[in-house]
Amino acid sequence: MKLAEGVLSPSHFQDHWRVTVPRIYSPQPNRTSLDWVFDEELATKLLIHPLEQFVWGSSDSAQPPPPRRSTLCGRVFKQGEPAYSCRECGMDNTCVLCVECFKVSAHRHHKYKMGQSSGGGCCDCGDTEAWKRDPFCELHAAPAGDDQSQSNINPEVVERMKIVASVVLSYCLRLLTHDHAPSLPNDLRLKDTEKDLLQILDSPDCYCTVLYNDESHTFEQVITTLTREMKCNHRDSVELVTHIDREGRALVKCNSFQVCDKLKTDIELCTAMFERFTSRHGPSLKVLVMHAHVIAHQLYAMKLLMWLQNFVSQEPSLRLAVSQVALGEATWGWSGAVAIGSGGVASAVMQNDSRMWKAARTAWHRLLIATTFMDYSTKRSMAILFTKNYASILKDFIRDDHDHSFSISSLSVQLYTTPTLAHHLIAQHDALFVVMNTFVSECNRRCNNKGRLEFDRNHVSMGFKRAQYILYDVKYLLSSVPSGFDDDLRKGFLHGLSLMLNLLVMMQGMDSVVRQVGQHMEYEPEWESAFNLHVKLAHSITLSLEWCSAERALATSAYRMALRRHADTYTHPPKVVKELGNQSASVIPYDVSVEPVSIHRPLSRFIAGLHLQLQRHGLGYHSREFDRPDKPKPSPEELIEPVLQTMAMIAQVHSGMWRRNGFALLNQLFFYHNVKCRAEMLDRDILMLQIGASLIESNEFIIHVLNKFNLLEWADADFEKRGLEDDQLRYTISMVEEFLGLLITVVGSRWVPGVGQVSNEDRTKKEIIQMLCVKPMPHSELNRSLPEDQLHETGLEAVIHEVADFIKPSGGNNRGIYKLKPHLYDKYDTFFYHYTREELSRSEEEQRNRRKAAGE
């Protein structure tokens, strides 16, 4: 009636809720979260049915029209739920199916992976951009001839849905972010005349002590605190703490304000005492005292969010109406006390996410996924809004201590992995720059006076660990290389790439080490943070190189930009002329055994990766496009210098010259060579030296390498006439071996597409042949020894049967193994540079035994 008269306002809904909600949902005195009970039937009858009747426009709780099957599943995963990804058809490894869809999809007959969801994601069934083929399961396939877009819902129903959504969403937002005041907002407080209705309560002035979850106090600490302060038994304490961990908070006392406030103080004192004993300086345990009616309204707000999600799930037109209201595209009436700016409730949820507890966050995330993500236009609006708020969302997440899956920042995986959305955001909303800028601003605080990242040995910053989640978003944005570029996309990508190069400059030369002479290193330096950063960034670097190589204009701009960064950040001492025989070269004097040197050279490696792509576009180092009028570009000698320093240091470590530097350096070398890191470390270093060898006159190149390895004296004709100490002689012999090994690798390793005329399949075959020369291997071990691409695929299955025979297990516990085809043993390469020393000696022994057995 009021709607027809044009006088309906949110206050009419709230007047009804103000009286009814406390009557049903107020917690009873002396109860906790474990034993409170509510009359759900009465709640449905008095609170939910009136809303449904209002939407459908009838008083007899009319049945809605039969649900129309959606072509999108959108089921939101709970934590620990199984999720399936198809290795053949998924656009990337974040494209997953729920159990119901997977069982009736074509992907069950393909190669698939099964994993556990960490919660927060949703099923991608029906999303044509998530799958290369077979995007629909049998449940969500659009029936032939059925026009899905034809809605049979009355427009008046849609308008009324918008009214309900507007009131419900602003009410829920206000209540679920309302945690500091002990009592309700004025317009939801009971008036004196209405209090008679609540004689059901022992005392109208009932308060609750609410204990909130955090990730810094242990289960045991909180259990002990509750047992001690509440005088409850151990089992109840365990159940309460489990409830707090699952839901994010629990009501532990319901009584008068004085009693509740005293318990709050006692709990805080008790946890403070734990902190003194454990010398842990984190945030104290959050305990709030709230009026019972606040708890009642918050409970109802949670029920409303679940109801709204379920109510619109079967009807696209109603879902669209709720999405438009949530995004602020359709507004109605007055929006309550919370100031909702542009972007509507969705934007306010993004900005207030860290103020809510776990269950409230999850309820909002599920509602937003189930509404705004189910339609392409609203998903796009949501992605734009998310990007606009990205910096503040991530700053909140970094300050927060809850897991990533409970943060609204986890929605990025749904938004940024959709190729058309990612490209639109990079082109029109500068998404790559926004995301990179958020991370680079975190890194700036951790730079030393030389502008290089520096990590504290005694304290690994949790904030920086959390900030590294941003690097996954960079990977998501770049995960699909566009088939064509317009000016906006090109400009947006290069703007983001300039910040990525800033980051590579900060990492270039970080964690540098100086050779210890005399006494052993006193404290092992912190090295893990730098490698963790590299591992998370490596795929983004590889992807950005793929973007650069997609087009000539991009490759030119990126290479020019990278060379400029190198010139701006690297200054070398004056060159010195060194002679060998009748040849001479101007070398850069830098003694690795005395000066600081680092394993981290990401800028040099990026330039090497980029250089490899130039030939595809008819470009080269000497192309006119790269000449600068103001300052010459770095010479090939300057480009290879940082990498050459690292190689010389590694050779010296292998020769035993760095023994006093402890295990930290050996661990760094292990990961440098390890399959997890080598694609963007060792492999790129070899590539850079190969590029240098092709650009520098060959005699000069050898003088540069000998100089860096301190072997110019050894190369002199009269070397043997000089007297050398035993140690010095031993080091020199080892360094010569390392030098010759490096030279063989630079000249002979041509199994990289672009260096030799080979494909990626040829490269994988080469790796498999060499690994099977060490010993026959089971599938899992062989797969682990190969580098993964950004889809976590190694390419093993595609080529394994060409190079190896599968031998079935013979005994009960044995595993089936792959053995190299006999005619391929001739391909064994003693100088294969991916071999560790142990693998090299085992492979040599294996070949000797095989030949002996064959009588060769």
Q: What is the mean pLDDT of residues 375-385?
A: 93
> Which residues on neighbouring strands pair with residue 820, listed in sequence order?
804
Place of tokens 């095989």: 850
Task: Give me 706's structure tokens.
Answer: 């000998």
User: How far separated are the first and last CA of the chain, in Å rounded?
Assistant: 100
Using DSSP's 3-state secondary structure scheme, residue 90 falls into: strand
Q: What's residue 9's pLDDT?
A: 72
Q: What's residue 555's pLDDT?
A: 95
DSSP state of 807: E
Cβ neighbours around 761 below 10 Å, total: 13
Place of tokens 């991608």: 124
Q: For the packed helices 602-614 and 487-507, what is the interaxial angle rounded to 10 degrees?
A: 140
Dump pLDDT digits (tens) for 38-55: 888 888 888 888 888 888
Confidence of residue 1 (pLDDT cuts 50, 70, 90): very low
Measured CA to CA, the distance from residue 227 to residue 235 in angstroms comes to: 9
Range with lowest mean pLDDT among 183-192, 403-412, 636-645 = 183-192
DSSP state of 286: P
Averaged pLDDT score across all residues of the chain: 87
Q: How far is residue 139 from each of residues 83, 108, 808, measured CA to CA in Å?
A: 17, 14, 39
Is pLDDT of 777 > 70? yes
Q: What's residue 463's pLDDT?
A: 87
Q: Which burial class, exposed, middle or buried, applies to 15 when counting CB atoms under 10 A from its CB (0-12, 13-18, 19+)?
A: middle
Cβ neighbours around 34 below 10 Å, total: 14
Q: Which burial class, exposed, middle or buried, applies to 325 when counting CB atoms under 10 A from its CB (0-12, 13-18, 19+)?
A: buried
Dump pLDDT digits (tens) for 535-545: 999 999 999 99
Q: For the packed helices 837-854 and 760-774, what is the interaxial angle rounded to 10 degrees?
A: 70
AA letter at 808: K
Say which CATH class 2-64+156-299 falls into.
Answer: alpha beta
Confidence of residue 5 (pLDDT cuts 50, 70, 90): very low
Question: Cβ neighbours of residue 255 under 8 Å, at least 6 residues apart?
Answer: 29, 30, 206, 207
Q: What's residue 585's pLDDT?
A: 92
**Over pLDDT 70: what percentage of the chain?**
91
Q: What is the mean pLDDT of residues 510-529?
A: 87
Measured CA to CA, the distance from residue 849 to residue 143 in angstroms comes to: 64
DSSP state of 826: G
Measured CA to CA, the distance from residue 453 to residue 445 in angstroms comes to: 9
> Which residues on neighbouring strands pair with residue 386, listed in sequence order?
none
Measured CA to CA, the distance from residue 724 to residue 730 in angstroms comes to: 10
Domain ranges of the chain: 2-64+156-299, 508-748, 760-854
173, 348 Cβ separation under 8 angstroms: yes
Q: What's residue 196's pLDDT?
A: 53
Is pLDDT of 581 > 60? yes
Pairing state of beta strands 576-580 and 583-587? antiparallel
Q: What's residue 813's pLDDT?
A: 67
- SS3 per-residue string spanning 463-503: HHHHHCHHHHHHHHHHCCCCCCCCHHHHHHHHHHHHHHHHH
Task: Give me 437's structure tokens.
Answer: 């800028």
776, 817 Cβ separation under 8 angstroms: yes
Dump pLDDT digits (tens) for 152-174: 678 888 888 999 999 999 999 99
The pTM score is 0.91
Q: What is the mean pLDDT of residues 818-835?
A: 93
Measured CA to CA, the distance from residue 738 to residue 55 in angstroms comes to: 78
Measured CA to CA, the distance from residue 135 to residue 125 in angstroms comes to: 6
Confidence of residue 200 (pLDDT cuts 50, 70, 90): very low
Q: What's residue 487's pLDDT?
A: 93
Measured CA to CA, the distance from residue 345 to residue 313 in angstroms comes to: 19
Q: What's residue 201's pLDDT?
A: 47
**H-helix segments, 137-256:** 155-176, 219-230, 234-247
Q: Tell me which fold the domain 760-854 belongs to.
A: Arc Repressor Mutant, subunit A (1.10.10)
Place of tokens 């010296």: 652
Using DSSP's 3-state secondary structure scheme, residue 609 falls into: helix
Question: Cβ neighbours of residue 496 under 8 Å, at least 6 residues apart?
Answer: 426, 430, 431, 432, 433, 435, 436
291, 182 Cβ separation under 8 angstroms: yes
Q: What are phi and psi of 113, to 5 degrees?
A: -120, 145
Range with lowest mean pLDDT among 278-282, 384-388, 491-495, 703-707 = 278-282
Q: What is the mean pLDDT of residues 177-205?
A: 65
Is pLDDT of 147 > 50? no
Using DSSP's 3-state secondary structure scheme, residue 85 falls into: strand
Confidence of residue 142 (pLDDT cuts 50, 70, 90): low
Measured CA to CA, the distance from residue 689 to residue 578 in angstroms comes to: 20
Measured CA to CA, the distance from residue 290 to residue 849 in angstroms comes to: 78
Q: How far is residue 124 from each of residues 84, 98, 102, 201, 377, measured CA to CA in Å?
A: 10, 8, 11, 48, 17
Range with lowest mean pLDDT among 2-16, 294-308, 780-794 = 2-16
Cβ neighbours around 23 below 10 Å, total: 18
Place of tokens 């080490």: 513
